A and B are shown apart, each in its own frame.
Chain A
Amino acid sequence: TQLLEQSPQFLSIQEGENLTVYCNSSSVFSSLQWYRQEPGEGPVLLVTVVTGGEVKKLKRLTFQFGDARKDSSLHITAAQPGDTGLYPCTGTASKLTFGTGTRLQVTL
């Protein structure tokens, strides 16, 4: 099982700030997924990236898949309190295992 490392592990920012979180591995993935999990609920899929260098946008969220398909980033513009949650990633090659996730706290 390939190891997925996510950074930072914790991030606390104020509303309106921008942020980027990362998902890295030494393995190549055919696809990679980002999820968001709110307290007391199951994770919900945000996006799947498939092609190296691919960029996908979901409102204020921008996802990028690395050219070598070993890493990915999630950028949030003008964070809102509703963005608070855990953001784990998982890759298809190691999809049975999640990264530990980045826990994001957005305060007013």
Chain B
Amino acid sequence: SQTIHQWPATLVQPVGSPLSLECTVEGTSNPNLYWYRQAAGRGLQLLFYSVGIGQISSEVPQNLSASRPQDRQFILSSKKLLLSDSGFYLCAWTRIDNSPLHFGNGTRLTVT
């Protein structure tokens, strides 16, 4: 069966510090991978998606970047965090034929 791992679960970082969140998927190959952010009490906002290694599409201009160095690894990064980067970050995957999304457990990021 397929599983998705996302870490860390919580993170507190000062403004201006770098960020690296990692997501890996097991049990499938060539998944579509997604990063979403959810502000407190709000809906899911798509940040990045990837259909293959090295292929990244950005949905919203922002202080963040994403990379996919391996088929089942998706990384969300920032060089300098802003207060507005605080939120709940979720990684998700689908099969290449766009079946429903499967989410990780999320990372709650607080920028202080």
Interface on A for B, CB 8 Å cutoff? 1, 33, 35, 40-45, 48, 86, 88, 90, 92, 95-101, 103
Q: How far is the CA of A52 from the CA of B94 in the complex (A)?
A: 23
- Assess the B100–A96 pair: CB atoms within 8 A: no
Q: In whole angstroms, what is the CA distance A32 to B37 when docked?
A: 21
Determine the residue in chain B with the shortest Cβ distance to A47: B100
Quote the shortest CB–CB distance from B10 to chain A (angstroms).
10
Of the candidates A40, A48, A100, A101, the one whose C-beta lies within 8 Å of that of B100 is: A48
0/1 string, B6-36, CB within 8 A of A gives 1: 0000000000000000000000000000101
Question: Closest CB of chain B to A11's CB: distance in Å?
Answer: 14
Q: A41-B106, A42-B104, A42-B105 are in contact. Are A96 and B43 (CB under 8 A)?
A: no
Instruction: Give the one of B46, B94, B100 with max A CB within 10 A.
Output: B100
- A97/B46 in contact, CB under 8 A: yes
Instruction: Report Cα–Cα, A99/B46, bound state, in Å.
Output: 11
Determine if B61 is an interface residue (Cβ-Cβ < 8 Å): no
A40 contacts B43, C-beta separation under 8 Å: no
B90 at the A interface (CB under 8 A)? yes
Q: Given A40-B106, A40-B108, does the pair A90, B42 have CB atoms closer than 8 Å?
A: no
Contact with A along B30-55 (1 / 0, CB 8 A): 00001010000111101001000000
